[in-house]
């Protein structure tokens, strides 16, 4: 099969299209023919940290069709269309086939395309868990810093689904998308700041940006909460090191460590199927352009999700 292999010895691009052996499922595993996978920050951040999957194939979010099952698999059959987050199962999605334990998978609703399904798992579950961590309630004022990316676009829609009043901080190019997602208030960070507003928030989701923790604290209501979801590395380190000291009073800060959850994934897929949540896909790449897709996401300007459409995979370059 064709797969994108991480080659640390390569002097130029580290992600290279190669022919490798097609995996075989063990007794509790499922072999999936991958139709689409999406790129996440977890892919390039793992590369930067030197955390490389066993088989050197990245890609956590996968949608495809079951081709074979192990003898102990009870809940799936050959031909089922499935979706999974493989970040806890060795990754492997940037390939034509992938294996993972049956516990990683859920059935894909028939009405959702493979590209759309592959864009859902990690980003949407992270957004859901962040809102749940913040104990969001109807009528609360929620500030989302960084609404334009994969997690942000899901967070805006889920917060609205929970009947919160949503204010989004984003760049000028994402204003139109935020309007389409029915954000109540939009702050263009190029020309304005949430610190200049009189509003105070019950919950702040810090997804992107490099704001001071003290700025978030100022923008909170009494009993309010900040949930650090992403942002710059320095911000994450500061929140872990100094967050509890700075937020000793009634205002609280938590740093989210999102976990794969098939139950949460099924919840989101149902909302997508019901058209209550719509994945925002910036662009799709064929398999042989996965390196370009990862680099594009790494630049930080993607509007929603970046998807690898495996069915569009091209032939191997002649140099290989």
320 pLDDT above the threshold of 70: no
pLDDT at 317: 41
- Which domains, from first to last, does the chain contain? 2-120+280-312 (3.90.180.10), 122-255 (3.40.50.720)
Distance CA 320, CA 318 (A): 5
Question: Is this structure's pTM higher than 0.75?
Answer: yes
Instruction: Determine how many CB atoms are found less than 10 A away from the CB of residue 42.
Output: 19
pLDDT at 271: 98
pLDDT at 316: 42
Cα 202 from chain centre: 24
pLDDT at 318: 36
- Pick the more confident residue, 301 or 164: 164
49 pLDDT above the threshold of 60: yes
Per-residue pLDDT averaged across 73-95, rounded?
A: 97
Burial letters for 97-129: b for 16+ Cβ neighbours within 10 Å, e otherwise? Answer: bbbbbbebbbebbeebebbbbbbbbbbbbbbbb
183 pLDDT above the threshold of 60: yes
63 pLDDT above the threshold of 50: yes
Mean pLDDT of the chain: 91
pLDDT, tens digit (0-9, with 9 covering 90-100), for 167-177: 999 999 999 99
């Amino acid at each position: 099969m064709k797969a994108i292999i991480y080659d640390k010895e390569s002097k130029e691009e580290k992600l290279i299209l190669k022919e490798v052996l097609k995996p075989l499922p063990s007794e509790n595993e499922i072999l999936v023919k991958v139709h689409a996978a999406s790129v996440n920050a977890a892919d390039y951040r793992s590369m930067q940290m030197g955390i490389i999957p066993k088989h050197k194939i990245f890609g956590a979010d996968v949608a495809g069709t079951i081709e074979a099952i192990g003898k102990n698999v009870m809940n799936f059959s050959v031909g089922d269309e499935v979706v999974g987050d493989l970040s806890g199962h060795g990754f492997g999605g940037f390939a034509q086939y992938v294996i993972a334990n049956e516990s990683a998978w859920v059935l894909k609703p028939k009405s959702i395309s493979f590209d759309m399904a592959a864009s859902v798992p990690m980003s949407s579950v992270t957004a859901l868990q962040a809102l749940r961590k913040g104990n969001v309630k109807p009528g609360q004022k929620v500030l989302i810093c960084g609404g334009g990316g994969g997690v942000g676009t899901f967070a805006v829609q889920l917060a609205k689904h929970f009947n919160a009043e949503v204010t989004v901080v984003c760049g000028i190019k994402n204003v139109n998308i935020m309007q389409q997602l029915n954000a109540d208030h939009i702050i263009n960070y190029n020309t304005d700041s949430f610190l200049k507003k009189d509003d105070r928030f019950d919950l702040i989701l810090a997804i992107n940006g490099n704001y001071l923790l003290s700025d978030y604290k100022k923008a909170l209501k009494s009993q309010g909460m900040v949930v650090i979801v992403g942002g710059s590395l320095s911000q994450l380190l500061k929140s872990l090191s100094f967050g509890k000291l700075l937020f000793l009073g009634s205002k609280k800060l938590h740093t989210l460590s999102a976990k794969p959850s098939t139950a949460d994934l099924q919840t989101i897929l149902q909302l997508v199927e019901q058209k209550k949540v719509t994945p925002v896909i910036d662009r799709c790449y064929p398999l042989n352009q996965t390196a370009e897709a990862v680099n594009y996401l790494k630049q930080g300007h993607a509007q929603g999700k970046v998807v690898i459409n495996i069915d569009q995979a091209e032939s191997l370059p002649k140099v290989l």
